[in-house]
Amino acid sequence: MKSKAIALLVATTLTAGLLSACSSKEEAVNNQETVTNDGSPSAEANPNTETAPEKESSPDTEAPSVDAAPGTEAKPTPTPVPGKEPVANKDKQQKPAPNKEQAPNKGQTPSKDPAPGKEQPPSKDPGASKEPAVETKPSVKEMADEMLERVKQPMLIEMKIDQLKDTYGLDPALLEEFTVRYPLMNVKTNEIAIFKVKDEKEIATVKLAIEKRATVVQKQFEFYLPDQYENAKNYKIITNGKYVLFLISESADELGKAFSTFFKTS
């Protein structure tokens, strides 16, 4: 009876040992497959066994075997089929192409920057108002000369400034400028005088002096030359602004028209 019990106990022990060994081998194989599939050599080590130092595995080398537990015979683990390396992601991040400078159109000419140090002339504004041009008139002497060129008269000479007071009774200080042309020979009554006063208030004074002068000429020729007396009676006085014109001439109308042209506005 004891012999049977011992034999049963031995058989049970052997069976348990075989099952344990098979379980250990199966666990080692599973761990090896896990290492191969994951691409990492890590494996769970038995607390009672030493773990071999990790080495980088390559597709052409065998994975390191795990040391068998003491008391059991370690069998070489089968070389696992090298797993396929994971395919690299083909969708690589596309790098942006560098921006290329846009070539200028052939029809366009690139604008040139102004040279440094040179000031650009101010642009002209076509709408800007221009200052009104100051109207300039010729001098009274130039007026008389031009009038005599247009309308022919007997030989006349110009009166000097010191004769003005005696002849017309005018103070030269009242005048800005003047010119008096009278006959060279005392056989004509023709006379042309242009006065420009400093103040228009003196126009009346000048006209009064002219009338006195005309009266003197008439008396000189009243009993001397009747035709010249009549000429002196038909004298003319024309005013325009600060200007006063005195005329004794058979062509007084033509001379008056020539004088008016100096005051026409364009």
Average model confidence (pLDDT) for the chain?
Answer: 74
- Asked whether residue 157 falls in the same domain as residue 249, the answer is yes
Mean pLDDT of 66-82: 48
| Residue 55 shares a structural domain with residue 162 | no
Domain of 259 in residue numbering reads as 140-263
pLDDT at residue number 100: 53
Q: Which of 94, 95, 85 is nearest to 36 (CA)?
A: 85
pLDDT value at residue 240: 96
pLDDT at 234: 96
Decide if 194 is inside a domain.
yes
Residue that is written with structure tokens 């009274």 in the block: 140
238 and 144 in a common domain: yes
145 vs 123, more confident:
145
Domain count, the chain: 2
Do 144 and 246 fall into the same domain?
yes
- Express each pLDDT in 120-139 by its tens digit: 555 555 444 555 555 688 99
Same domain, 152 and 234: yes
CB 195 within 8 A of CB 173: no
Question: What phi and psi values does residue 244 have, to the nearest 5 degrees?
Answer: -130, 125
d(CA 246, CA 196): 12
Tens-place pLDDT, residues 8-31: 777 777 777 777 665 666 665 555
Looking at residue 182, its pLDDT comes to: 96
Rounded-to-integer distance, Cα 220 and Cα 205, Å: 23
Q: CB neighbours (10 Å) of residue 252?
A: 19
Q: How far is residue 253's CA from residue 238's CA, in Å, rounded to a whole number?
A: 11
Backbone phi, psi, residue 195, to 5°? -120, 135
β-sheet with 175-183: strand ranges across = 156-158, 175-183, 191-197, 243-248, 236-240
Among 28, 57, 78, give the residue marking a domain's end: 78
Which of 58, 78, 98 is at the close of a domain? 78
* pLDDT one-digit tens code per residue, 50-68: 444 444 444 444 444 444 4
- pLDDT top residue among 98 and 11: 11
Whether residue 185 lies inside any domain: the answer is yes
Which tops the pLDDT comparison, 172 or 137? 172
Does residue 60 belong to any structural domain of this protein?
Answer: yes
Is residue 122 included in any domain, yes or no?
no
pLDDT above 70 covers a percentage of the chain that reads: 54
Handedness of CA 15, 16, 21, 23 (dihedral sign): positive
- Residue 194 pairs with which residues in a beta bridge? 179, 245
- Asked whether residue 100 is assigned to any structural domain, the reply reads no
- Which amino acid would we find at residue 47? P
